[in-house]
Amino acid sequence: MEKFLDAYLERMKPVFERLPEKTGHGIASVFLAYRFGLYQKAVRECAGVLPQLPEGSAALVKAIAIVSAYAEAFANSQVRPDQPLAFSPEERSSVAVDLPRESVDDADTLELDNALVMVYAAAILASPDDEDALEEHRKYIVIMLETYKKALGLT
């Protein structure tokens, strides 16, 4: 799944490399706060970075909104948000794992996993200063993607 992640990063490079570095750093802060379980901080970081995203970033906006919703739920000791968000059909062209929701056991987790992979990709491509910190979490992303290997037909 390393190659799968590399291919996704390459596919998203033209989209995310155009983001300002300050925005990329904010996105990296979203990912790292979430990853370290600092859920209230992650919610604040999401709220701070959303207004910085340029028009035409609908999929990334949705990804950050999904991460924010889960971070808020986790901060409130919930397993998932009351109203889980999902990528629209148009936004699905930007996700890493584009599977029909009915083809996976837990469609809401697929949405969260796609959101985290997208946030990771945007952060690593748009914030060179955070690259080392983010690279330490690459294995987390690869392991997450491994769970979809069979469904993607990559066994």
Q: Give per-residue pLDDT as tens, 63-89.
A: 999 999 999 999 999 999 999 899 999
Phi, psi of 35 (to 5 degrees): -60, -35
Q: How far apart are CA 155 and CA 143, in angstroms?
A: 14
Question: How much is the pTM?
Answer: 0.96
pLDDT at 102: 83
Q: What is the mean pLDDT of residues 93-118?
A: 93
Instruction: Provide Rg for the chain, Cα atoms.
Output: 14
Three-state secondary-structure class, residue 31: helix
Six token digits for residue 23: 């925005």
Task: Give the long-range contacts of residues 106-111, CB within 8 A, separation 24 or more.
Answer: 108/80, 108/84, 110/148, 111/66, 111/84, 111/85, 111/86, 111/87
Query: pLDDT at residue 43 above 90?
Result: yes
* Residue for token pair 């997208």: 118
Phi, psi of 125 (to 5 degrees): -85, -25
